[in-house]
Amino acid sequence: MSKSAEGQAPFKVSEETLAAIDRYIAQYPTKASALMPCIWAITDEIGHVPEGGVDLLVEKLEVTRTRVHEVLSFYTMYRTEPQADNVLQVCHNISCHIMGARNIIAHLEKKLGVRMGETTPDGKFALEGAECLGACGHGPVLQRGKHLYEYLTTDKVDDLLDNLRKGEVPRADTDRELEE
Amino acid sequence: MSRNDDRILSARFGRKDGHKLSVYENEGGYQALRSVLGKMQPDEVTEVVKESGLRGRGGAGFPTGVKWGFVPKDAEEVYFFVNADESEPGTFKDRYCLDYDPHMTIEGTIISCFAVRAKLAFIYIRGEFGWLIDRVQKAVDEAYAAGYLGKNILGSGYDLEMIVHKGAGAYICGEETGLINSVEGLKGQPSIKPPFPAVAGFLGKPTIVNNVESVAAVPWIITHGAEAYKAIGTEKSCGTKLWSVSGPVKNPGVYEVPLGIPFREFFNDYLGGMADGEDLKAVIVGGSSVPVLPADEIMNCNLDYESLQQAGTMLGSGGMIIIPKSSDMVELIQVLMHFYFDESCGQCTPCREGTGWLHKLVKKLRRGEGTAEDIDTLEHVCNGMMGLTICPLADAAVMPMRSFIDKFRPEFEALIQETATAGPQTRWPRGEQE
Ligand SMILES: Cc1cc2nc3c(=O)[nH]c(=O)nc-3n(C[C@H](O)[C@H](O)[C@H](O)COP(=O)(O)O)c2cc1C
Ligand code: SF4
Ligand code: FES
């Protein structure tokens, strides 16, 4: 099934992921229409979709390899390479910009010693710009995986980085129990 | 309707547990569905929504019931998509709906699906809303368990399945044909209309795409009647609208108000005016894709479709961006042109090349290498884009670009003047933005 590069472990996903893929195929009206959720299922387990994952999708969904590659490259959230432990995506769109995203970006660049679009040499942090994250009235904001950190200040950024360095992902504002 | 009167869409916003089925049911939730299933015909539901004057809240403002009426009556297979791709800069209202009150949107979707005889509904949520997708999925699971979804809903014989679909980061998937293509497992590139999705959409079958806020209003309309909804707002802009407000006002956030209220009142009474030390310069009233209005113009506007159009802008998504005096307009338009350039799907030459040129030219001005001719060139590029593409993304870039020049030309000229005397400067944004 896999034709991964020499020296790399062959591609393998868990039984759960395979079951999820089969579930999506049953749920969606055509096999091909299950492509996006199946890409997510692989991504959820291993963080990206390597070539072996493409093989799996081609086989399961009966779509062409080109089509899988097209879809993987069209959407910004799909990745085909391993990612840094912490991909920090800072919104640089208009509302966050007005509310000071520039300062947050400058602060992150200084603290991490990398520029936007780069990864720290230890592979722990990648700094990326993001378009509007749908949190404009709560800006500036940054996202790490499922967590959205809002109302950022340089102090909050420092706290966040300290926690992430210790391997802890702090609660985000959006993880809250909803309160008045 | 005063501030604390019965709110149609936002009654549970900000409330603990407002997202739970039990809370929603206690407050009359799913009663509208009960009054529809087995008691009304699909076309009667469409008629009520038509009568109510409800217009699409995703941006274009097309009458919702009229759109439903385009689905051929004899169609065997109909699909329904709830558009929760919410990626228009400045817009964050659908997120509030789904976060605080997912069942209202779910109930609205079930009724809407019944009206157009759909058997499968997708809620397409942008991929970045990871936590929200989990929350909505939980609510959908609850609705299945309670018998509001699945086979033979509430014993009525009506079947409906609902899939929460996770997007993967592409603004263009918010455009309805891009959205449909995306769920077909393709790149999310828009298709030429006609055919309109209501006739030939998902898998070539009749498909309705509606914004979250549009379907969320449906249960209230069913329960209270078309007349009651129509009584709110103005003659042509009926009902209430959610405004998501960002920028340095005292109280940014999401507000529900009747359509047609004066901006001045909204600004002073709801937003609390500007934050300390800030002055109002301009407002982009309906999301980043609509023309900007300077403070003195917006201050005399009412917040409804017709008034805003008359003032030269659009209600759009209701993503209201407040721009303070301290902002540099050329800098802000650079941020926006970077966005549209990045998000063009590349199918149409005027859009792909045009957004690229607009971005390059604005950057040139900001680098301090601009000349007066560049302003003319910007306008020239805009003329070559507007109305000439498959989808309105090209127009969405042109509208802010043109209006920033029209309304704030002195700022562009001053920058060019400054350059002529002081020589090239390096200005932020740099790096990624360049
Ligand atoms: C570039 C572009 C992006 C769009 N993004 C959204 C979006 O995020 N959410 C949305 O509801 N409509 C969006 N729309 C509008 C949709 O195409 C469509 O008109 C809308 O979902 C219809 O629903 P409504 O009639 O209930 O408003 C977008 C349109 C364009 C051209
Ligand atoms: S106008 Fe732009 S975004 Fe829309 S289809 Fe054409 S290239 Fe794609
Ligand atoms: S502009 Fe930053 S979240 Fe919308």
Residue with tokens 């509007």: A132
Instruction: Per-residue pLDDT tens, chain B, 434 aa: give them.
Output: 444 466 899 999 988 888 999 999 999 999 999 999 999 999 999 999 999 999 999 999 999 999 999 999 999 999 999 999 999 999 999 999 999 999 999 999 999 999 999 999 999 999 999 989 999 999 999 999 999 999 999 999 999 999 999 999 999 999 999 999 999 999 999 999 999 999 999 999 999 999 999 999 999 999 999 999 999 999 999 999 999 999 999 999 999 999 999 999 999 999 999 999 999 999 999 999 999 999 999 999 999 999 999 999 999 999 999 999 999 999 999 999 999 999 999 999 999 999 999 999 999 999 888 999 999 999 999 999 999 999 999 999 999 999 999 999 999 999 999 887 876 666 654 443 43
Q: pLDDT at position A173, please? A: 76
> In this structure, what token pair is assigned to residue B314?
């659009």
Pocket of ligand 3 (CB under 6 A): A 91, 93-96, 132-136, 139, 141; B 89
Name the DSSP letter for residue B90.
T
Does A175 sit within 8 Å of B131, measured CB to CB?
A: yes
Q: pLDDT at position B425, please? A: 64
Measured between CA atoms, the residue of chain B closest to residue A30 is: B184
71-110 in A: which are within 8 Å (CB) of B?
71, 74-78, 92-95, 97-99, 102
Does A115 sit within 8 Å of B327, measured CB to CB?
A: no
Does A36 sit within 8 Å of B182, measured CB to CB?
A: yes
Tell which residue, B359, B386, B362, has the closest CA to residue B374.
B362
CB atoms within 10 A of CB B44: 12
Pocket of ligand 2 (CB under 6 A): B 172, 189-190, 344-348, 351-352, 389-391, 393-394
Helix axes A65-74 and A51-61, enclosed angle (nearest 10): 120
| pTM of the shown model | 0.95
Tell which residue, B228, B340, B232, B323, has the closest CA to residue B283.
B323
> Which member of A27, A61, A134 has the closest CB to residue B95?
A134
B171 neighbourhood in chain A, CB within 8 Å: 131
Q: pLDDT at position B426, please? A: 60
B57 within ligand 1 shell (Cβ under 6 A) = yes
Q: pLDDT at position A175, please? A: 73
Question: Which regions in chain A score pLDDT beneath 50?
Answer: 1-5, 177-180
State the distance from the centre of ligand 2 to the C-alpha of B201, rounded, in angstroms.
Answer: 18
- Which residue blocks in chain A are alpha helix, DSSP H? 15-27, 35-46, 51-61, 65-74, 94-98, 101-112, 154-165
Q: pLDDT at position B428, please? A: 55
- C-alpha to C-alpha distance for B282 and B326, rounded to whole angstroms: 11
> In this structure, what token pair is assigned to residue B179?
């959205």
> Which member of B131, B168, B203 has the closest CB to residue A78?
B168
Q: Under a CB-based contact definition with an 8 Å cutoff, are residues B378 and B362 in contact?
A: yes
Q: Helix, strand or coil for residue B352?
A: helix
Q: pLDDT at position A180, please? A: 31
User: Which of B95, B175, B399 has most ligand 1 atoms within 8 Å of CB, for mutation?
Assistant: B175
State the distance from the centre of ligand 2 to the C-alpha of A28, rounded, in angstroms.
Answer: 27
Q: pLDDT at position B432, please? A: 39
Does A102 sit within 8 Å of B168, measured CB to CB?
A: no
Q: pLDDT at position B175, please? A: 98
Q: pLDDT at position A8, please? A: 62
Peptide bond into B194 cis (omega under 30): yes
